[in-house]
Amino acid sequence: MEVKTVGVYGAGLMGRGIAQVALEGGYDVVLYNHRTPTLEKGVAGIKKGFEKKVAKGKITQEQADGWLGHLKATIELEDLKDVDIVFEAMVENMALKKEAFAKMAPIIKPEAIFVSNTSSLSITELAAASQRPEKFLGMHFFSPVPAMKLVEIINAYDTSEDTIETGKAVAKGFGKEFVTVTDVPMFIANRVMCPMMNEAAILAGENVCSYEDIDKACELGYNLPMGPLKLADAIGIDVMIEVMESLYQETADSKYRPAHLYKVLYRAGRLGRKSGKGFYDYTK
């Protein structure tokens, strides 16, 4: 299936990132959010992303203006009706995601592909609620989307081969590298990385060393660009709790139980970089 127009449901950090790389890939983009302030912030984020590239000499102002000319930002769900593929980019909540696909199903043309950007939820369960399970994919982008090269492509139980191949072509069109995996809890990258980050948070909670030394040990010992506690702050403490809780519930394996310190930080309102404080203080 040829994709010319991309829809994005949700204009938060991930949604606007997906919209940006779609524009850079030469696609027409319809960016939807039901809240005007979130939509405006999303569009501003895309413009800022292009402005940074212009300032660094990576693109011209003419290119940036041309890409923005292919963006339609809207609070009307009906404006998604003619997209060829739509990316859901909401918070990690199964009920809310199912509700989003239920709203889109009768509006968007039947041949269009539905995609969830979930980092941990069951693609098969979402597909079953979409009313078009054979045209459903998971495409897990990493944050920040414009900078991170990887996309995990996940097929649901009933996903067709044509849908998978279309997903691969779109990932390439967005300038991304991809890996493919069947629908298993947390897919590949998060299944490996998040338990390591959780263990770091458990160790931090035991007060056996400083947060800085945990990160330093991992950065220098394993040549990681960012330590696990810094990475948790970048991702968001609330997101880390949701992801680990999802894996714990799905597998019933206690080794995936979220670190207690995550919950303490969350209750203190320390969600990481986005709130100004997490394991570290970013307000200074």
List, by residue number, the catalytic residues.
119, 140, 152, 190
* 136, 114 Cβ separation under 8 angstroms: yes
Backbone angles phi, psi at 280, to 5 degrees: -120, 160
Query: Residue 166, SS3?
Result: helix
Amino acid at 261: L
Q: What share of the chain is helix, strand, coil (3-state, %, to 5)?
A: 50, 15, 35
Among candidate residues 34, 136, 18, the one with its CA nearest the CA of residue 71: 18
Amino acid at 16: R
Strands 85-88 and 5-9: what pairing?
parallel
* 176, 152 Cβ separation under 8 angstroms: no
Amino acid at 57: G
| 142-169 b/e (C-beta count within 10 Å ≥ 16 → b) | beebbeeeebbbbbbeebbeebeebbbe
Q: What angle do CA 95, 98, 102 make, to 5 degrees?
A: 135
Among candidate residues 154, 157, 136, the one with its CA nearest the CA of residue 190: 154
Strand partners, 154: 138, 181
Query: Residue 122, SS3?
Result: coil
